[in-house]
Structure formats: C-alpha cells, structure tokens
C-alpha cells in the first residue's frame, strides 16, 4: 500500500525509508543521502545513487515530482533490497526476520 498511497513525493520518501531500513540504517534519521551512499559496495551504490537523487529532489523541489518518479524510486528500492539480500547469509536473514529487528 505504501507504493500507491499518498502523493508521488510521499511515495518516493517511503521508498527511501524502506531502503534505509533494508540497509540497516532505519533508526538513524539524521543521515543525508550522501551519508547513506558512503561506504556502500558498488553493487548497491549503482541502484542507491539514483534513488538518493530522487529523494533529495523530493525534499527540495516537491512540486515537480511525478508518478513516474515514485515508480522509479520503488524500482530502485527493490534493486537495493535484492543486492543487500544477496550479500546477507540466509541464517542471518532468517534470524533477523524472526527477531523482527
């Protein structure tokens, strides 16, 4: 429902929050997009950089955000999730899922 609810800007920011959560940065609200990009491996940065740019755009020029931007943000978020999951061993993913961190 987060992918369809709210304005396009709201949906872009929801995708950004989901991505930060997937990268285990969910509780650190003061991070800038550049902070999130720093230290990420190249396979994640490839998908994360365009999402960071869209989220910055939403924060500073929210009137020009379109449904296509929101869809692109969620596509980027999904790609980051897949890349992050491929780097995390299955037992760790299962443990995290069960402990609901």
Helix-helix angle 67-87:42-60, to 10 degrees: 150
Per-residue pLDDT at 78: 95
Kindly indicate the confidence band of residue 26, based on its pLDDT and cuts at 50, 70 and 90.
low
Per-residue pLDDT at 49: 94
**Mean pLDDT score, 17-33:** 79
pLDDT in tens, 44-98: 999 999 999 999 888 887 778 899 999 999 999 999 999 988 887 888 777 777 7
Residue 38: pLDDT above 80?
yes
Residue, of 3 and 29, whose pLDDT is higher: 3
Burial of 9 (C-beta count, 10 Å sphere; 0-12/13-18/19+): buried
Per-residue pLDDT at 46: 92
């Amino acid at each position: 429902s987060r992918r369809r609810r709210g304005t396009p800007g709201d949906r872009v920011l929801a995708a950004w929050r989901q991505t930060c959560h997937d990268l285990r940065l969910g509780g650190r609200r003061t991070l800038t997009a550049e902070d999130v990009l720093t230290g990420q491996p190249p396979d994640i940065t490839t998908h994360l950089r365009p999402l960071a740019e869209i989220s910055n755009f939403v924060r500073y020029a929210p009137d020009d955000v379109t449904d296509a931007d929101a869809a692109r943000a969620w596509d980027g978020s999904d790609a980051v999730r897949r890349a992050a999951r491929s780097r995390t061993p299955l037992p760790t993913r299962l443990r995290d899922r069960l402990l609901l961190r």
